[in-house]
Amino acid sequence: MSEFYPGFGGARLALHRMGTGRPLILLHGLFSSAAMNWIKFGQAEMLAAAGFECLMPDLRAHGASDAPHDPAAYTDDVLAKDLAALIAHLGLTDFDLCGFSLGARTSVRGVIAGVSPRRLVLGGMGLEGLAGWTARGAFFIDAIDRFDVIKAGDPAFHAVQFMKTMKVNRVATRMLLQTFTDTPPSALSAITMPTLIVNGDADRDNGDPAALTAALPDAVQAVVPGTHMSCVTKPDLGLAIRDFLVS
């Protein structure tokens, strides 16, 4: 089931729900959507069967959500502000939060800004993906700028192919990419809730997950099969999230 809610500044953002029970917000990755990241490969269904109400927004400029071309719609940390708007819209006071890649970065920025989940899951993320976001963001902005000329063998080829598959609004996404800043390791002391760091065994796209685990006050690490792109297609990811949240 999908619906819409007002994000920061009134943007019309899509929300997909599955299951009943304990609220669990699931935030998808860059260029993806709730349907691709959480629904298509059965992760949400598995978590719903474990007793969670999966609350899965399409991030701004993704999926069925608004993708405005007005720069005023892309203030600093706008995705973290959208997350806070979702929590307020739903009236949530006791919930869990899980993000993958861009969703993980959004979750971290949201917690630093005051979002307080009971438990937190950060998927597809390492320390450098937070502390060194400026360089990572520049890679994707370059991929957007060279979108029509990138060929097989180029480091950005797979990102461009995924953008094509997802029919990404490149103007909106380019502006969105500039709303995040680096998150210094010292800022991670704000993440005091129990946290799971889960990555594919062949995934270092966002840096070292072990270093991120060590930088957090109360974190454990899980390794599942796959690359940054393929681990979301395997049940092991959902199982690791489920087992952590119900433990």
Work out the mean pLDDT of the chain and round it to a whole number: 97
| The predicted structure's pLDDT at residue 1 | 58
CATH number at residue 208: 3.40.50.1820
18 occurs within a structural domain: yes
Residues 7, 86: Cα–Cα separation, whole Å: 7
175 occurs within a structural domain: no
26 occurs within a structural domain: yes
Q: What is the pLDDT of residues 132-175, one digit of tens each?
A: 998 999 999 999 999 999 999 999 999 999 999 999 999 999 99
143 occurs within a structural domain: no
Inter-axis angle of helices 102-112 and 78-90, to 10 degrees? Answer: 70
Split into its structural domains, the chain has a count of 1
In the numeric block, the tokens 């796209």 are attached to: 205
151 occurs within a structural domain: no
What is the pTM for the complete model shown?
Answer: 0.97
Q: What is the full DSSP assignment across 28-85? A: --TT--HIIIIITTSHHHHHHHTTEEEEEEPPTTSTTS-----GGG--TTHHHHHHHH
Q: What is the pLDDT of residues 69-97, one digit of tens each?
A: 999 999 999 999 999 999 999 999 999 99
Specify which residues 122 forms β-bridges with: 99, 197
171 occurs within a structural domain: no
Full residue range of the structural domain in which residue 85 is found: 2-131+181-246
Strands across the sheet containing 22-27: 2-6, 12-18, 52-57, 22-27, 96-100, 120-123, 195-200, 219-224
